[in-house]
Amino acid sequence: MTALWRWLADPAHWSGPNGLAQRLGEHVGYAAAATAFAAVLVLPVALWIGHTGRGRLLAIQVGNLGRAIPTFGLILAAFTLFGYGLTPVYVALVALAVPPILVNTVAGIRQVDPEIVEAARGMGMTEPQVLWRVELPIALPVLMAGIRTSAVQVVATATLAAVIGLGGLGRPIVDGLAQGVTYNPAARAMVLAGALGVALLSVLTEWGLAAVERRLAATRGGATHWNITD
């Protein structure tokens, strides 16, 4: 452990194109972009499926099937298709981020009490109004939990970018292993720094998004916190 602190205390390990600061920035960048892209891609479809109920089973099956895709295999397969660069990373991370957002959003909308929906319709609300003003606010905690699950998984998995020669916090792990953890204390410290960095970032993501959810729930007057499992 002392080797780790000594390694971390050296400013040279933080700056420059191979420094930890750069790697941290890359990691957050990959994870944020992939999660955001997955949300933009999935939310409109998932809200529509949830509201109409059409294709609900299909959506849930697709979501559950998607969870079975091994990201490591997908990133290598995408590398052979797209070559060196960020595309394979985003293909793999977006595929990882889609299922929880999809399943939670559909289930969140579906679980809204049908009587409330009928009452809204009875008051003369149009279908889009029912979705936006009634279903979405009630489903929001479950929907947010889906995004949080995706974000944490993506942060933890973005380490794989280093396997195909890109950056992120996987870089010090892969480089440290290649430089030999048996004889080289600096390499060992490098691997630990990367691994702990990813773990910390995952925990912070979980906490940060949970705090956002609580804030949202509080402003909407709902105190319950729902999570979903299958």
Partner 1 sequence: MRLIRKGAHRGRWVALLALVLLVAGCSGGDTAGDDPTETAEEFERGAITVGSTDFSEQEIVASMYAAVLEDAGYDVERRFHLGSREVVLPALEKGDIDLYPEYVGTALEFLNGGKGEATSDTEATTEKLREAFAAKDIAVLEPAEAQDRNGLVVTKETADELDLETVSDLKEHAAELVFGGPPECPQRPLCLQGYERVYELKFKEFRPLDAAGPITWAALEQGDIDVALMFTSQGVIADKGWVLLAEDEELQPAENIVPVVRTDALTDEVEELLNAVSAKLTTEAISGLNRQVDSDGADPAEVAEAWLREEGLLD
C-alpha gyration radius of the chain: 21
Distances (CA, A) of 46 to 28, 84, 111, 190: 26, 32, 14, 41
Binding to partner 1 in span 199-218, by CB under 8 A: 199-200, 202-203, 206-207, 210, 214
The number of beta carbons lying within 10 Å of the beta carbon of residue 197 is: 21
Q: Does 136 bind partner 1 (CB under 8 A)?
A: no
Closest-CA residue to 209 (of 158, 114, 132, 140): 140
Give the 3-state secondary structure of residue 79.
helix
Spacing of C-alpha 1 from chain mean position: 30
Q: Which residues contact 162 (CB under 8 A, 6 or more apart)?
A: 168, 170, 171, 173, 174, 175
**Pick 71 or 111: Cβ nearer partner 1:** 111
CB of 141 to partner 1, least distance (A): 10
**Pick 2 or 124: Cβ nearer partner 1:** 2
**Pick 131 or 139: Cβ nearer partner 1:** 139
CB of 107 to partner 1, least distance (A): 6
Distances (CA, A) of 170 to 89, 166, 185, 212: 12, 9, 18, 27
**Pick 119 or 203: Cβ nearer partner 1:** 203
Binding to partner 1 in span 55-74, by CB under 8 A: 60
Q: Does 111 bind partner 1 (CB under 8 A)?
A: yes
Binding to partner 1 in span 158-177, by CB under 8 A: 164-165, 171, 174-175, 177
CB of 124 to partner 1, least distance (A): 30
Distance CA 88, CA 77 (A): 8
User: Which stretches of the chain bind partner 1, using CB under 8 A?
Assistant: 1, 17-18, 60, 79-80, 83-85, 103, 107, 111, 142, 164-165, 171, 174-175, 177-184, 187, 192, 195-196, 199-200, 202-203, 206-207, 210, 214, 224-230
